[in-house]
Structure 1
Amino acid sequence: MRRVAFSLRRAGWISFWIQLVLAVVSGIILLFAILVANQSPTQGGSSGVEGGLLFAFAGLGVLGFSTYRAFYHTRLSQQLRGPHPGRPSRGETMKQMRVSLIANMVGMLLTLLGAEAINGILLAKAVSQPRGILEASVNVRDFVQPLDIFIVLANTHTIVAHFVGILCAIWLIEQIYKD
């Protein structure tokens, strides 16, 4: 029981801090992208990544829940070290690990869907970029913008954070069933 409690505490804190830092960085980047896109006439509302942003924000929201779950693992660790009548069973502990694992997998799925949408738009922009900058019909929105790359970066941070959560949950499940 002590070994599982120690593993929960250690993995919970590691996962919590990694996910928290990556969530904050991703959130700041996405908010910056939204603010700049709404104020910049060259970005306008037709950059094409809005659908991907919806999934990116959904994945970020689930990351917030996953970060809370990682913190909850540290509290669960304290309960496991507590007196026997209030201590959660192996089954209850496994149920908590499953919730965390499923949350991270759903968050990663949403974020990957956002990444696919965003990357598809960026590929289309890159392939169809006008060859001559001085042509009269050139629209700046047709070029890949630095803001587009910021959105890809934020999405990548969110994917990595969910991956860390998945790794920790799987490792903890292994620790719970280790005899």
Structure 2
Amino acid sequence: MREKPDTSSIPPSAQRIVFTLRTIGWISFWLQVVLGVISAIILLLSLAFSRNTAAQASTQGTGFGIFFAICGLVALGIGAFFAFRYTLISKQLLETGRPSKAETLQAIRLGLIVNLVGMLLTIFGAQAVVGSVLTKSLSQQGAVLDPSRYVQPLDLFVVQGNVNTITAHFAGIVASLWLFNRVSK
């Protein structure tokens, strides 16, 4: 078994920062990973089902939304990496006393920026999909002969995937802001 490092030489304020970085880093990491995996599965299923011609005709306009949703998922993966990096920084602080406060704040700042950009991309995707669904719902009155104008469950599935990704980015943003506040004191 691994021995725990001796924390008696570390000041109490640094011990609190180590604990906060480790705890919030793991919570943020797992929230982002779980919600990101669910969103990825939803988007992959929607892409798989939109491959057949009947569903493809019924999901016109969601391609733009899916593109941005995938970009948001990529950013979410990077955000989850930064959340994991917070746990590594806490371990480094505990073992070696490095990195410095400025380096730690810079890592948190980058994680925050990644999650903000990812959330923006995902919001663009959600807006495109919701706009497509709204257009379909408004044009359903005469859709008896044209089933491609019906709102399909697949459309709402993509909306759900986007909302999950936005929630995951929000969790990353909250965690980064919390850490930034705690470390900068």
TM-score by length of 1: 0.92
Pick one of 123, 127, 130 that aligns with 1:116.
127
Matched, 1:159 2:170: no
Moved more, 96-105 or 45-54: 45-54
1:119-167 residue CA offsets vs partner (Å, 9 max, x unmatched): 111111111113463xxxx211101000000000000000000000000
Alpha-carbon distance in structure 2 between the residues aligned to 1:175 and 1:42: 49
1:1-179 pair list within 5 angstroms? 1-44=14-57, 47-84=60-97, 87-131=98-142, 133=144, 138-178=145-185
Please give the secondary structure, in 2, of the residue aligned with 1:88. coil
Please give the secondary structure, in 2, of the residue aligned with 1:144. coil
Alpha-carbon distance in structure 2 between the residues aligned to 1:146 and 1:21: 23
Alpha-carbon distance in structure 2 between the residues aligned to 1:77 and 1:158: 26
Cα gap change, 1:155/1:8 in structure 2, threshold over 3 Å: closer, same or farther?
A: same
Give the paired residue count: 172
1:3-35 residue CA offsets vs partner (Å, 9 max, x unmatched): 111100000000011100001000000000000
Sequence identity percentage: 44
Please give the secondary structure, in 1, of the residue aligned with 2:50. helix
- Structure 1 contact 58–110 (Cα < 8 Å) conserved: yes
Give the aligned residue type for 2:169: H
Give the aligned residue type for 2:111: S
- The root-mean-square deviation of aligned C-alpha atoms, in Å, is 1.3
Alpha-carbon distance in structure 1 between the residues aligned to 2:176 and 2:49: 37
Alpha-carbon distance in structure 2 between the residues aligned to 1:41 and 1:144: 13
- Structure 1 contact 126–144 (Cα < 8 Å) conserved: yes
Structure 1 gaps, min length 5: none
Alpha-carbon distance in structure 2 between the residues aligned to 1:44 and 1:61: 27
TM-score by length of 2: 0.89
- Structure 1 contact 22–157 (Cα < 8 Å) conserved: yes
Structure 2 gaps, min length 5: 1-13
